[in-house]
Amino acid sequence: MLVAACTTPPAPGTPTTSVPGTTTTTVGPNGDDSYTIAFIGDSEPRMRGNTNAEVAAYIANLASYRTTTSLYFDFGGGDTHRVSPELVVLGGDISADRDTSIASDMPLWQQLYDRGIGLVAGFGNHDWEPVQWSDGSLGYSVAGHAANENTTAFTRETYRRTALTLPGFTYREFGPTATHGPTTFLSSYKGVDLANFNTFLYQPSYAYPDGWPLSCNLLTGGAGCQVFFSAEPQIAALANALSTDPARPTLFVEHYPLTTGDGWWDDHGASGTTVAQRKTRLLGLMNRFEHTALLAGHNHSPGHYTHTVGTRTLDEYVAPYFGGDNGEDLTRGGGFVALLVSPSRGILEAKFVPGGI
């Protein structure tokens, strides 16, 4: 299944300069500066029956498109542009509840770096502490906070390793608006920018009262004592760092699609905004660019959706469930969205690649 980008690409031009770095893009034979980004969602090893070995096999299969597995984009006709991922983006739900860490998960993904492929990750709802669990118990306990810290460390490490793996890859971090919380990222590779908001751009930061956990709900490990802070200053900092060139191809990543239920867009009252205002904030950031798309996961089912902003139509691509066939047939895992991108021509094609090894 393929979906062509909605915007009409301009004529090829001079390769642009990476922001926030200064590395220029690489132009191949015949002036072609396009390359492949692979977007995946919801790997979830150690969850829903997905074992580490199965997920590692799906990752190896993904890497094979760079070397031995031949698949081509339709853009340009024939076998002009091969699906050959240079950068892989993981859009959250990295592993099981409270279980994401460098020690547990990096060994699965290291094979990408070893093959010269970059991997950058944001986190999803299963990687971040909920306010309340399904059994009614409160979140943000000592254990939950430690899990959040492990998740942040993992996402940060993926960017660090990618910078070591891919020449010219640059990135910036935007820290939480309180003592604790998410770190968001803006990265650049070969003239294409990537803004990563983790779960969603309004994921709030948080702080604990003095003396916590001894001073608050000690018997439940300090659960329920957090105070939330708006993500708006963090959003603004990243937004101010985005390119001022509307022609700069810029992808946005978060775990929750714009098309998912409004309950997932709850920031617990921290920002004082409505769900509609939060979604409009994201669409407004996207609308600054002529060549843009939202990449999301969470739904465990591939989809292409469009959103109208003024006279424009903006694309949203939701990844298939990487961990398996929605927990039913684990031999069908590993599907992804292949994006053919160009710094001079934008997003040339988005192609859904089914799983199965």
DSSP state letters, 23-57: PBPP--GGG---EEEEEEB---TTBTTB-HHHHHH
Instruction: Give the CATH number for residue 180.
Output: 3.60.21
Mean pLDDT to the nearest integer, 19-40:
64
Residue 60 within a domain: yes
Q: Give the model's confidence band at 10: pLDDT under 50 very low, under 70 low, under 90 confident, else very high.
A: very low
Residue 24 within a domain: no
Model pLDDT for residues 12-29, shown as the tens digit of each residue = 222 222 223 323 334 455
Mean pLDDT to the nearest integer, 191-208:
98
Determine what percent of the chain is predicted with pLDDT higher than 70: 90
Q: What is the pTM of this model?
A: 0.90
For the chain, the domain total comes to: 1
Residue 311 within a domain: yes
Residue 18 within a domain: no
Q: Give the model's confidence band at 334: pLDDT under 50 very low, under 70 low, under 90 confident, else very high.
A: very high
Residue 308 within a domain: yes
Q: What is the pLDDT of residue 95?
A: 96
Residue 272 within a domain: yes
Quote the CA–CA distance of 172 and 19 in Å, as a whole number: 10
Q: Give the model's confidence band at 8: pLDDT under 50 very low, under 70 low, under 90 confident, else very high.
A: very low
Residue 25 within a domain: no
Query: What would the two tokens of residue 197 be?
Result: 């908001």
Q: Which residues contact 136 (CB under 8 A, 6 or more apart)?
A: none
| Helix, strand or coil, per DSSP, at residue 196 | strand
Owning domain of residue 168:
2-8+34-353
With contact defined as beta carbons under 8 Å apart, do 168 and 18 qualify? yes
Q: What is the pLDDT of residue 14?
A: 25
Q: Give the model's confidence band at 3: pLDDT under 50 very low, under 70 low, under 90 confident, else very high.
A: very low
Quote the CA–CA distance of 92 and 90 in Å, as a whole number: 6
Residue 127 within a domain: yes
